[in-house]
Amino acid sequence: MAGERILVIEDEGRIAQFIERGLIYEGYRVNVARDGKIGLTAARDNPPDLVILDWMLPGLDGLEVCKRLRAASDIPILMLTAKDDVKDRVTGLDAGADDYLVKPFSVDELLARIRALFRRTVPLSRPDVLRFADLTLDTGTHRAYRGDRAIDLTAKEYELLELFMRNPRQVLTRDVIFDRVWDYDFGGESNIIEVYVRYLRQKTENESESRLIHTVRGVGYVLREE
Ligand code: CA
């Protein structure tokens, strides 16, 4: 949705293509590796935002790729397996996979798992300090500042501000904001986003401070300087 890059390590051409098409259609950027070693090298040279990793691979098997990737990074890893067996699932998770999917699976199921992984792992695996203009957001402590002024945020206000600060100068549509922050559909009538943007503006903009969260009429909102 926001163009995250996904590396697919899968040797079976038909399945790799099926996954690639589904992901591209959804707006992700996709690279495919057909071999474990090549996939591992690709992940190291140009770290993606998420890895979809088949279990049975030539070169280096998926389990080994998973262990080596995990030793070096927190990239979310979704394993694919034909082995529908509890013991193998546990082995995969022990090796550091975040989730797995048993073949055959539908593209909808794959996309749902990916969204869940991004929601679950991205904020946790990347505690850092986000800055935009004089706004600062510490994703480890959840503290926000405008200049030196500390801002108290509720959990939802924090999530909304983090979404803006991770995507500065990009227009975020109402649908994207719903999907990322509220996680379910309020329907077209809800004004919850407007309400929360108002809260955020009240807290982040006092009288002497410039507007940072701007309305893009009929579309959504954007974090940008005047
Ligand atoms: Ca395979």
Range(s) of the domain holding residue 174: 129-223
Ligand 1 (single-atom ion) residues, CB below 5 Å? 11, 54, 56
Each residue of 82-96: pLDDT tens digit?
Answer: 866 667 777 777 888
Q: Where a domain ends, among 120, 137, 156?
A: 120
Rounded alpha-carbon distances, angstroms, from residue 197 to 205, 212, 215 = 11, 11, 9
Domain check: are 84 and 133 in the same one?
no
How many domains is the chain built from? 2
Cα-to-centroid distance, 119 and ligand 1 (Å)? 27
Cα-to-centroid distance, 105 and ligand 1 (Å)? 14
SS3 state at 53 = strand
- Reported confidence tier of residue 142, pLDDT bands at 50, 70, 90: confident
Cα-to-centroid distance, 80 and ligand 1 (Å)? 9
Domain CATH for 151: 1.10.10.10
Q: Where a domain ends, among 61, 89, 120?
A: 120
Rg (CA), the chain: 20
Domain check: are 173 and 206 in the same one?
yes
pTM for this model (two decimals): 0.55
Domain check: are 101 and 172 in the same one?
no
- Reported confidence tier of residue 55, pLDDT bands at 50, 70, 90: very high
Cα-to-centroid distance, 78 and ligand 1 (Å)? 14
Domain check: are 151 and 52 in the same one?
no
Each residue of 161-208: pLDDT tens digit?
Answer: 999 999 999 999 988 888 788 765 455 557 888 989 999 999 999 888
